[in-house]
Amino acid sequence: MLTFDFFYDLGSPYSYLASTQLAGIAQRTGAQARLLPITLGGLRKATGHQLPPPQQLKYMSEDTARWAKQYGVPMQIPRAFPVSTIRALRACLAAEQHGQGDKAMHALFRTYWGEGNDISDPSTIEGALNAAGLDGKALVARTDAQEVKDALRRNTDQALARGVFGVPTIFIGERSFWGNDRLQFVEAELRRVVG
């Protein structure tokens, strides 16, 4: 089965928006996303990027609202923004060990960007995962496991090694596509590869 790599951070509104389109891309192309949570903070530190200035944040708020309307998905700037997403990202990796990384990712994106809840709070993470039919308590407990911490670090290191500088970044083979607004090119490339 054809796969493509989807690098994301739960703190990225554009990663959230792109994640809402993955099922449609899979349905139309037969290609499945390989979900790779990374720490955008770690990426920024390594590449020397700073947080966006206030003017860009204002634009981003308006722009993400336009995209959410186009996709027909809920979107709001959370009350707590930005927040540390490390524990929530680790919960996604813990869920992935049971083949449920997609459920965890969608649940945590939804609670943060769709409902505005603070995903740096372990109880928020647990509640969102429980609502998705996962064992939130067990997954939150696994976020302190060294192997889960190492997996997040490995994903971030892999992203850096592949030239990722922001999220979402999608790879089809070694061709990269950065940003929610590149999904049409992602889909075209997947169709080309499938032939």
pLDDT confidence band for 68 (50 / 70 / 90): very high
pLDDT higher than threshold 80 for residue 117: yes
Percent of the chain surpassing pLDDT 90: 85
Quick one: average pLDDT of 146-156? 97
Q: What are phi and psi of 32, to 5 degrees?
A: -105, 140
Instruction: Return the pLDDT at 1.
Output: 85
By annotation, the residues acting in catalysis are: 12
Buried b (16+ CB within 10 A) or exposed e, 38-72: bbbbbbeeeeeeeeeeeeeeeeeeebbeebbeeee
Question: pLDDT at position 45, please?
Answer: 76
**pLDDT class for 58, splitting at 50, 70, 90?**
confident
Query: Domain of 116: which CATH number?
Result: 3.40.30.10
Q: Half-sphere exposure of residue 29, counting CA atoms within 13 Å on the CB side?
A: 27
Mean pLDDT of the chain: 94
Per-residue pLDDT, averaged over 84-93, amounts to 98
Average pLDDT over residues 85-100: 97
Query: What is residue 14's predicted lDDT score, i.e. its pLDDT?
Result: 97
pLDDT recorded at residue 51: 66
Compare 82 and 44 and report the one with higher pLDDT. Answer: 82
Domain limits for position 87: 3-194
The structural domain count of the chain equals 1
